[in-house]
A and B are shown apart, each in its own frame.
Chain A
Amino acid sequence: MAAPAAIALGLMAGTLPADRELALQILTELRGPRVAAAFACGGLLALAGALMQTLFRNPLAEPYLLGVSGGAGLLALLGMAAGLAWPWISLLAFAGSLLALALAAALGGRLLARDHTPLLLAGVMLAAGFGALIALVLSVTPAERLPGMLFFLMGDLAWTSQPALLWAALLLAVAAALALSRRLDVLQLAPLKAASLGVAVAPTRWMLFALAGACTSLVVAQAGSIGFVGLMVPHALRKLGFAGHRALLPACALAGGSLLVLADALARTVIEPRELPVGVLTAMLGVPMMLWLLRKP
């Protein structure tokens, strides 16, 4: 219910010229695709967050836990420092996130049937390492190139050019996650217990890893590292009583999409005609909501 309202609000937010034709053109060619991309990105991030929380059996897990944003950020920034243009930056970001995932899997994935801690540690270490390298790149970059880099690191939907691709990915990912949903309910139990109930723990966990990783990589390559949606939305929905994955996962897609559309509408309009990185807004909207939810017993 909230999703159509959010989309409508996202479309209306911001000034339109008096000329009807020009206004219509802005709505269909600029604002429409951007709202569509925002919804798909938010949905993908929230879905990936829910999957990561189940993979690591931890409500603090989030899409960037394994260094995806760091790997993507590092390669994207190197591309920007070398003066490359957008489609190349996007491809570099995608390659960087896959690199981070591959490294995490290679370094920490050996015992995934019984213990997810090595994978978690490898991912957190990689994220720290990428973070340091990103700081290094930022500190040696000429000042005029810095704003673009910072917008990428905080997440920004102005670059997004492929709403259709993002929507296709969102629909596919929700379908794949739903097909796994009963197994994911069981996977919340201790690995040994889940195995005793007939779930093949390691293969299912790898599927989760791949699905969450693909969703996150795609978003990062399109819009940079938009934070907080992937942590907050699944956590908040679980707090609100969405426990089973069959209900939780589609709810994450809808709520994550709606939240990001709203955040992006604000990012575009708060200091019009300039824009804020949407990642700033997701956190500014999300943190108070989350703190309010945590107060509930």
Chain B
Amino acid sequence: MSLVAHQLALQTSTRTLVDSLDLALEPGEVLGILGANGAGKSTLLNVLAGLAIPASGRVTLDGHALATMPPLTRAQHIGLLPQGDEGGFFGSVADFVALGHFPFGGPAPDLAPHLASWELTDLARRPLDTLSGGERQRARLAQLAVQAPRIALLDEPLTHLDPAHQAKLLAWARGEADARHSVVLTLHDPNWAACHCDRLLFLYGDGRWQLDTPAELLTPDALEALYGPGTAALWQQGGRGEPV
């Protein structure tokens, strides 16, 4: 038992995005969340991270309510890669990556392997704000790797990454799963989802949701239902649940 959502409801001021969601995250799985823009993917990640309060329902970590857990304790187990900028950070790439160690206190760990694994070694002393978008995304991922949470929640982690680094991200996610950690990511690429996720969660943005394996969920018709008419072409080349 690890991270469990009980009867979650997510709402905006005007409508219900997700209703009565039950989700038990298994150790060792990679879960992909798919849905149209504004369907509630990021909101759900924030709720699972304990950083936003659901309209109803609750989230527990090993049976303890996330809402009442001390922030530092929570941060030792759950990591979030939000979308968005790091403007306002004045330090170097190495300083930035080292912040992942904050929840644990004490002296910073050896950053070299993390910097190397995200190909940041040569950039380590550069100010973060001089990096390209993709390089900065790698720095964010390296920071998360330093935090080494057993529940990693990633909001559109593929953003800005070139194919080689997308592959690197895939390898990292699978490595985390092999270490009995759980990885949740939101993404917009059904092919990637089919190849690399153990389970998928479809959010329809009107309260409905579906949770199953890619083989069961991913069909051209299902994509049209999720994203709207004309989107089945995204999937045309692939078979049912098969990568393109």
Contacts and interface: CB of A to CB of B under 8 A. Distances in A.
Interface of A: 56-59, 182, 185-186, 188-190, 192-193, 195-200, 238, 243-244
Contacts of B100: 197
Contacts of B80: 192-193, 196
Given A196-B79, A196-B82, A198-B72, A188 B46 contact: no
12 contacts: A58-B88, A185-B95, A186-B99, A186-B102, A188-B88, A189-B89, A193-B82, A196-B51, A197-B75, A197-B99, A198-B102, A199-B71
B38 interface: no
Interface residues of B, number: 28
Main secondary structure of the interface of A (DSSP, over half): loop
A164 to B, nearest CB: 34
A23 B76 CA distance: 63
A195 B102 contact: no
A196 B49 contact: yes
Given A193-B82, A198-B102, A244 B91 contact: yes
Contacts of B82: 190, 192-193, 196
A199 B80 CA distance: 13
Given A192-B80, A243-B90, A243-B95, A197 B103 contact: yes
A188 B90 contact: yes
A196 B95 contact: no
A90 B155 CA distance: 52
Contacts of B147: 197
A185 B88 CA distance: 11
Interface of B: 46, 49, 51, 71-76, 78-80, 82, 84-92, 95, 99-100, 102-103, 147
Contacts, number: 65
Ranked nearest first, the 4 interchain pairs of A and B with the lowest CB-CB distance are: A57-B88, A198-B75, A243-B91, A196-B80
Nearest to B75: A198
B43 to A, nearest CB: 11
A199 B78 CA distance: 13
Contacts of A190: 82, 84-86
Contacts of B90: 59, 188, 238, 243
Nearest to B89: A188
Nearest to A234: B90
A114 B223 CA distance: 34
A59 B90 CA distance: 9
Contacts of A185: 91, 95, 99, 102
A60 B86 CA distance: 16
Identify the interface centre among B79, B87, B100: most chain A CB within 10 Å of its CB: B87
A198 B85 contact: no
Contacts of B88: 56-58, 188-189
Contacts of A186: 99, 102
B46 A199 contact: no
Nearest to A183: B102
A198 B103 contact: yes
B79 to A, nearest CB: 6
Nearest to B149: A196
Nearest to B84: A190
Contacts of A182: 102
A290 to B, nearest CB: 16
B74 to A, nearest CB: 7
